[in-house]
Amino acid sequence: MEKAQQAIMGHGSDKINDLAQETKEMTSSARLTTDYGVKQTSADDWLKVVSQDKQGPMLLEDPLGRERIHRFDHERIPERVVHARGSGAFGTFTLFESAEDVTCAPVLTDTSRKTPIFIRFSTVLGSRGSADTVRDVRGFAVKFYTQEGNWDIVANNIPVFFIQDAIKFPDVIHAGKPEPHNEVPQAQTAHNNFWDFQFNHTEATHMFMWAMSDRGIPRSYRMMQGFGVNTFTLLNAKGERHFVKFVWTPELGVHSLVWDEALKLAGEDPDFHRKDLWEAIENGVYPKWKFGIQVIPEADEHKFDFDILDATKIWPEDLIPVRYIGQLELNRNPDEFFTQVEQIAFCTSHIVPGIGFSNDPLLQGRNFSYFDTQLSRLGVNWQELPINRPVCPVMNFNRDGAMRHTITKGTVNYWPNRFEACPPASEAEGGYAEYAEKIIGIKARARSAKFKEHFNQAQLFWNSMSPIEKNHIINALSFELDHCEDPVVYTRMVKRLADIDLGLAQTVANMVGGEAPTEATRPNHGRKAPNLSMSDFPPAKPSIASRRVAILVADGYDAVAFNAVYAALTAALAVPLIIGTRRNKIIAADGTTHITPHHHLEGFRSVMVDALFIPGGEKSVKTLSQSGRAVHWVREAFGHLKTIGATGEAVAFVEKAVGLDGQIQVSSGDDLLESFGVVTLRATKPDSFGEFKEIVKG
């Protein structure tokens, strides 16, 4: 049995057991058949008229030939209109602390339960085949297969959104997607239309600051927070209602790529995030997130200077702390991408008893949209698809439609019926109880007063960034606006930045063109909030597990140093990757020991790894130092502030490659390099790699 499968046997495996009924395996004992089950003697030739020396016509009669082409012609379904590019995995939700004071939903109150989940990660704007590492918001949709039915939190890695009202969604997406006349650019916000939209919608200001921050280029899906964004409600057994936001935080800490890495990876390894997730789960290093709720009693709804139903606002954690009550863990890769990752379909409207909606105008529109989009993507019976069906019984009077699978016996298909077949459930039986909310108002196309304030939290976010994060935001805005050729777009956007911070506006104006503002359009209130900066989220338990470490070797490498590092990394569940001057055998300095590299220097690049190690060995190091590509490996890794380790002769090679030759103290006092995360040892001692590991962990 697979490692990952073993881990989830018992509790939490209901969904896997359910899917097993539909799962077939391709084995050598199985024989090729048509879809209607008849065994076939050939898979290679269409039925035709042939004679010894002449190729005759193909026969339309051939059912196998026609079936193969017909089935192929229809393999594609419409890609998701947004979030088309994604990947996902199965896992388990474990509840540590009951939230029964605020909800009666057993998934959030019964600590003995383990609820099966599936999570799909995605980018928003790119097509299905676009690159993983583009600057974009990341989708983070979670399906909980609870005993009371499916509960979906269709979340993002950023806690706010561009717009307040669902009616604006087609506009924001049209503006962000490739432009209509030439379908350029793919998976990029760096173009006129996106920034034209941002200027025209002051409500988007807070969100574009998040998107331009390092959160827009995550290092890994495993290192992002998840946010439900919209305000939901919780209902407890006493009938009391609370407003709630859902949030989860990765055990590995929140980390990003640097922009240069993201750009290069988009070309060198467009599947970087997809592979990273797959590799970690296959290696048994399961990603985990603390699952939390932010709760506001109904009576406090109007106590804040922002509207708590406005999806362009966070609930600052100093005002409303997160209460972490459970854990999401991913522990099993899908068996087949299409039937699981592509066909999974989420709906914000899928909630279970004890959880409710709020009047958040973005959520209300989403509740309409998701079901509707599944109808055009998957057809009316999409909830019967194995990945989408609940693990609890489903029975009702919905019938027929394309691709209906379920065969429902009985002579009636309506309610009420004379047999009293399939009556609605009482609340005591677990029926969903609507909260009796009193609503008074006038009918109007309008938003309530507090929705009109759009800059306070954009300033709060900016003020809360560390100096490095601020610098990255400036660089991101400078890159994006540089790609807007229309001066109207970039000059107006530069002015908009003065609504957030004068220094920010002036620096960006200087880079992208346009008149630098001399006065802030509105004073910066100077407030900060906790847990907006990524630096507030270091790893819970620093670990080198699942980190990729490249080991650069050529003929004549020092086998003692190599073996020590390789063994230490493997024991710590890291992923050592041997990168040789070729993929054929590389011979060690002793002339007999050898290794077969995973990749060669041209086939793999430094941006694909977290750290670099170069063992000594006179001949090996000489070869590497004469290779432009090897020198580039070291320089690039150094430029991206990656940990670099070196022993013996390789120490001088690293020093020279990074341009710090002669400036450092040798022996244990390599302070200058160490401050850059470079660990060097002149003499190889197999037990002295602890420090290297410690730095990689950070």
Q: Which residues sit in the known binding site for heme?
A: 370
Build a one-symbol-per-residue string for 280-319: x at contacts with ligand HDE by CB under 6 A, - elsewhere. -------------------------------x--------
Q: Beta strands 643-647 and 678-681: pairing type?
A: parallel
Q: Which of 324, 304, 323 is nearest to 315 (CA)?
A: 304
Closest approach of Cβ 121 to ligand HDE, in Å? 8
CB 327 within 8 A of CB 208: no
The stretch among 143-151, 154-162, 272-280, 678-686 that binds ligand HDE (CB under 6 A) is: 154-162
Quick one: which H or E segment has residue 146? strand 138-146
Q: Which of 308, 366, 309, 326 is nearest to 105 (CA)?
A: 326
Q: Which two tokens stand for residue 224?
A: 């992002």
Determine which residue in the list 120, 201, 264, 273 makes contact with ligand HDE, applying CB under 6 A.
120
Rule CB under 6 A: say whether 370 interacts with ligand HDE.
Answer: yes
DSSP single-letter state for residue 416: S
Determine which residue in the list 156, 164, 188, 680 makes contact with ligand HDE, applying CB under 6 A.
156
The stretch among 90-98, 161-169, 619-627, 666-674 that binds ligand HDE (CB under 6 A) is: 161-169
Q: Based on the residue annotation, tell me whether 156 is a catalytic residue of this protein.
A: yes
Determine which residue in the list 166, 320, 508, 651 makes contact with ligand HDE, applying CB under 6 A.
166
Catalytic residue among 156, 157, 193, 333: 156
Q: Which of 368, 100, 355 is nearest to 231 (CA)?
A: 355
Burial 595-626 (b: 16+ CB within 10 A, else e): bebbebbeebbbbbbbbbbbbbbeebbebbbe
Closest approach of Cβ 260 to ligand HDE, in Å? 27
Strand pairing partners for 679? 645
Rule CB under 6 A: say whether 169 interacts with ligand HDE.
Answer: yes
Give the residue ranges of the annotated binding site: 370
CA–CA separation, 431 and 423 (whole Å): 11
Q: Based on the residue annotation, tell me whether 83 is a catalytic residue of this protein.
A: yes
270: preceding bond cis by omega (within 30 degrees): no
Q: Which of 617, 558, 606 is nearest to 579 (CA)?
A: 606
Helices and strands (DSSP H and E) totals, the chain: 19, 20
Nearer to ligand HDE, 345 or 579 (CB): 345
Please measure the distance between the N-terminal and C-terminal CA atoms of the chain and give it in whole angstroms.
Answer: 34
Q: Which two tokens stand for residue 86?
A: 């994604």
CB 320 within 8 A of CB 338: no
CA–CA separation, 289 and 94 (whole Å): 10
Closest approach of Cβ 84 to ligand HDE, in Å? 8
Q: Which residue has the CB atom at the shortest distance from ligand HDE? A: 139
Build a one-symbol-per-residue string for 325-364: x at contacts with ligand HDE by CB under 6 A, - elsewhere. --------------------xx---------------x--
Determine which residue in the list 202, 339, 373, 478 makes contact with ligand HDE, applying CB under 6 A.
373
Determine which residue in the list 366, 547, 548, 697 makes contact with ligand HDE, applying CB under 6 A.
366
Nearer to ligand HDE, 341 or 658 (CB): 341
Kindly identify the residues of this chain, within the stretch 49-88, that bind ligand HDE according to CB under 6 A: 80-83, 86
Closest approach of Cβ 626 to ligand HDE, in Å? 48
φ/ψ (deg, to 5) at 132: -75, -30
Rule CB under 6 A: say whether 242 interacts with ligand HDE.
Answer: no
Kindly identify the residues of this chain, within the stretch 547-576, that bind ligand HDE according to CB under 6 A: none
Give catalytic residue positions. Answer: 83, 156
Which residues make up the interface to ligand HDE (CB under 6 A)? 80-83, 86, 120, 122, 139, 141, 154-156, 161, 166, 169, 229, 311, 345-346, 362, 365-366, 369-370, 373
